[in-house]
Structure 1
Amino acid sequence: MVGTFRVFTVNSLVRFGHRFTGIPVAVCLLPADLCLDGEVLSNIASDMGAAVTAFVQPLFRPGQEVVLDGTSEYTRNDVFALFWFTPLVELSLCAHATLAAGHVILKELKSVHQAIEFKTLSDRISVVRDSWGQDTRIALLLPADPQPCSLADYSDVKGGASTSQRHARRASTASTAVSTTPTLDKKVTEAEAVAGLTRNRTIKAARAAFESRWRGTGKSDRVASALSNHPSHGTGGLQSMAPEHFENLEGLTETILGSMLNPPLVRAVVYGPLHRNLLIHITGGPTELRHFAPVFTPEILVLGTQNKVSSLVVTCSPPAGANYDFAARCFSPWTNVEEEAMTGGSYSVLAAYWSARCGLKELRGLLGNHRKGLVNLMVSRSRGEYVQMSGSSQTIITGNYDL
C-alpha cells in the first residue's frame, strides 16, 4: 500500500436552507510527501465517483517549520497545490471544486487563516471566508475571460424571454473583445472525443431531425447573424475572430441546435477564448433551458475538438420577479462529461456576458438542471480582469482512501 489520505464529498454552491442542492465534488487531501502521476489521479477520481475531484497538497516555504501529522500541514499552512481531475482528463480550471476545497480547509478542518492560496495550472487562486448573515460562504478570485468575441444582441427575436425590473439597465451589446490564445494542459484527441460519448445515442433519429427540421428553415441565418460582428457596431464594437474559426464555430452552433427535435431560438452566441467556452443565449426562459437536450453526435465532438471548444454553456434570462439574474447549464462532452454543473471557465464567460448585457457588476446565477446551485459573481476591472465568485458548501461524506 502506497499510503492513506483523507477524502471528502462536498456539495458545492448549495442553496442556503435547501437540502439536496448544489454540485457534488470529491476533495482528496494528499500528503506533502506523496507524488502521484496524472494517470493515478484520474483513476482515483474515477473511484471517487464525482464528476470532478479536487486534489489538495500542502506547499511549504524555504525554512518553514513543518509538522506532518495529517492535520497541522493543512490547518496552519496557507499555500497549497490544487489539481482538478475527471475520470478522463485533467482540467485547467474548476471553480466549484475550488470552492469545495476551500470549504474543507477553511471550515471543515478549521484553518487558522482567514484566506488561503491555491497554486493551479491556470493561476494562483485566493480563497477567503465571506460571511453573509447566517450563511458563511467561501469566495475566490478567478482569472476573467476577456469580453467575449462576436456577440450580437437578438432582443427583438419573437419569443424572447421577459425582462424584469432587475434588468432595466441591460445594454444591447458588450464592449470591445480582447483576443487571446487559450491553452489546455491536456488535449483530447479526435478519436477520444468520438469514442467518449457516442454510446447509447439515437444518432440516426437526430440526423433525420436535423435534415427535416433545420435545413431550409432560416434558423441557420439567425445563428450566423448572432455570431457575426455587425458593421453597425463601429470601431467600438466587438472584434472578429479569424474567419476560419468564425465559420467553424458557426457550423458547430448550427449542428448542436440542429441535433434537437425542437431547437430554441437564439438570442446571442459568444465564444470565451480564455477557457474555450461556447455560450448560447436562448429565448424562452428557464422552461426552454430545462428542455434543452442536444445529441452530441461524433460530428459535434470532432468539430468542438478541432475548434478549441471545451464546454458548451447554455443560458437564459430569468422570469419576471426572480431573485437571480440568469440561469445556465453546462455541457462538456469533449471531456467525457455530457452535462456537468458548471466549470470555472463558464463562470468567467457568464460573468463577462451578463455583466455587459445587464450593466451590473454583481450578479446571481441559478445553475444546473435537476440539481440546482446558486452562485454569486462580481466583475471587477480595477486591478486587472477578474471575477469574484462566492457560494456555500456542505460536507456530506468524510473518510479515508487507501492507495
Structure 2
Amino acid sequence: MRIRIVDAFADRPFAGNPAGVLLLDAFPGDDRLQNVALEVNHAETAFAHPLPPGGEADWALRWFTPVTEVDLCGHATLATAHVLHSTGAHRGPVRFATRSGVLVATPAEDGSITLDLPTAPLTPAALPQGAAEALGAEPLAVLDTGPHVGDLLVELADERAVHALRPDHRALGACSRQGVIATARAENPGLGYDFVSRCFFPNVGIDEDPVTGSAHTALAPYWSERLGRTRLTGLQASPRSGRVGTELRGERTLLTGRAVTVVDGELLAW
C-alpha cells in the first residue's frame, strides 16, 4: 500500500503541517485506519477512495488523528488534493464526500490549491474554569466555533501574547474537552499577514497543531468582521509555521495554500 507524507500550507519541505495520505480502493475497518494513523503519528492521516462517476462527489475522504476520527480537517484535505493532482489520479477540481458534507479543492496554475469549506458559526462562550491558567493568558473574547470545528476561539491582547504561549497541555485537556484556537491581530500587516493564531488540541492527541485549516474557517469570519475585509491572510505561528489565505463567502470559506510531498513510500503492514 502506497503512503505519502505531505507538508500542507507550505511551499517548501519541513514547514507547514505534515499529513499522511493513502489512496485506497475502499475503506477497510475503522480499527485498521486508526492503527495506520497512530503509526504515522502526524496530526492527521487522510484516507480517500474514488466514488462511482455521476454522483455529487468524486472521492470519499476521512481523517484520523493518532487517537480518533475527526469531522473536519483542512490541511489533510489540501494534502490529499495535492497528491491527486501531482500524480494525475484526478484532474481539475475534486469533490470530496466527508463528514462535513461535500468539500471542493480547486488547483490553480501557480500550484496553489483552494479549499471550499463550511464557515464555522461563532457564538459567545464562557472559558472553562482553569483554562486561562492552563493556557497561560487571559482572553479578551471567547467564542464557540460550532459542531464541525468544535473548539474554543480566544482572542488575546496582542500578537506577542500568542507567540509567548507555553500552555500546560495536560491541564488544558483536563479542564476542557474542546481544543483552543488562540489568535490576535497582526502587529505589522506590512509583513504580509493580517492575524496570527496557534492551535492546541490535547484531547485528540495533538498538543499543538502546526497549521490548522479547519481553525481558519472560524478565524476568517472573526477577523473579516473585525477588519472589514473578506480576503485575509493568517499566519499560524507554530514552530513549523504556515500561511493560509482566507476568503469569506457567507456560509462558505475559501482557504488557499500550497503543499509539498516529502515522503513517498510503501506501507508494508496493511
- TM above 0.5, yes or no, is yes
Structure 2 letter corresponding to 1:136:
G
8 Å Cα contact 1:276-1:345 kept in structure 2:
no
- Partners of 2:15 and 2:47 in 1: CA distance: 23
Q: In the TM superposition, what are the counterparts of 1:118-267 in structure 2 within 5 Å?
A: 118-131=96-109, 135-146=110-121, 148-150=122-124, 246=125, 249-250=126-127, 252=128, 254-259=129-134, 263-267=136-140
Q: Give the secondary-structure state (helix, strand or coil) at the position aligned to 2:82.
A: helix
Q: Give the secondary-structure state (helix, strand or coil) at the position aligned to 1:26.
A: strand
Q: In the alignment, does 2:189 pair up with 1:323?
A: no
Q: Deviations over 1:343-380 (max 9, x none)?
A: 44311111111111111100101114111111111001
Q: In the alignment, does 2:246 pair up with 1:271?
A: no
Q: Give the secondary-structure state (helix, strand or coil) at the position aligned to 1:104.
A: helix
Output the TM-score relative to the length of structure 1: 0.62
Q: Give the secondary-structure state (helix, strand or coil) at the position aligned to 1:259.
A: helix
Q: Deviations over 1:45-85 (max 9, x none)?
A: 112232210001111137x9xxxxxxxxxxxxx71110101
Q: Deviations over 1:65-115 (max 9, x none)?
A: xxxxxxxxxxxxx71110101121001010010000000001x21245211
Structure 2 letter corresponding to 1:387:
T
The corresponding residue for 1:42 is: 34
The corresponding residue for 1:304 is: 176
The corresponding residue for 2:52 is: 60
8 Å Cα contact 1:53-1:85 kept in structure 2:
yes
Q: Give the secondary-structure state (helix, strand or coil) at the position aligned to 1:257.
A: helix
Structure 2 letter corresponding to 1:139:
T
8 Å Cα contact 1:340-1:368 kept in structure 2:
no
Alpha-carbon distance, 1:145 to partner: 1.0
| Count of residue correspondences | 266
Output the TM-score relative to the length of structure 2: 0.91
8 Å Cα contact 1:9-1:25 kept in structure 2:
yes
8 Å Cα contact 1:330-1:368 kept in structure 2:
no
- Partners of 2:34 and 2:197 in 1: CA distance: 27
Alpha-carbon distance, 1:341 to partner: 2.1
The corresponding residue for 1:75 is: none
Q: Deviations over 1:269-291 (max 9, x none)?
A: 22212322201111231x32122
| Greater fraction strand | 2
Q: What is the RMSD computed on CA atoms of the aligned residues? A: 2.0
8 Å Cα contact 1:257-1:294 kept in structure 2:
no
For structure 2, which runs of at least 5 residues remain unmatched after alignment? none
Q: Deviations over 1:3-36 (max 9, x none)?
A: xx2111101001x4x553211111011124xx41
Q: Give the secondary-structure state (helix, strand or coil) at the position aligned to 1:140.
A: strand
- Partners of 1:288 and 1:303 in 2: CA distance: 21
8 Å Cα contact 2:19-2:76 kept in structure 1:
yes
Q: Give the secondary-structure state (helix, strand or coil) at the position aligned to 1:25.
A: strand
- Partners of 1:368 and 1:139 in 2: CA distance: 21
The corresponding residue for 1:371 is: 240
Q: Give the secondary-structure state (helix, strand or coil) at the position aligned to 1:294.
A: coil
Q: Give the secondary-structure state (helix, strand or coil) at the position aligned to 2:123.
A: coil
Structure 1 letter corresponding to 2:226:
R
- Partners of 2:60 and 2:146 in 1: CA distance: 25
Q: Give the secondary-structure state (helix, strand or coil) at the position aligned to 2:258.
A: strand
8 Å Cα contact 1:93-1:343 kept in structure 2:
no
Q: In the alignment, does 2:14 pair up with 1:25?
A: no
Larger Rg: 1
Q: Give the secondary-structure state (helix, strand or coil) at the position aligned to 2:259.
A: strand
Structure 2 letter corresponding to 1:388:
L
- Partners of 1:94 and 1:114 in 2: CA distance: 21
- Partners of 1:86 and 1:391 in 2: CA distance: 21
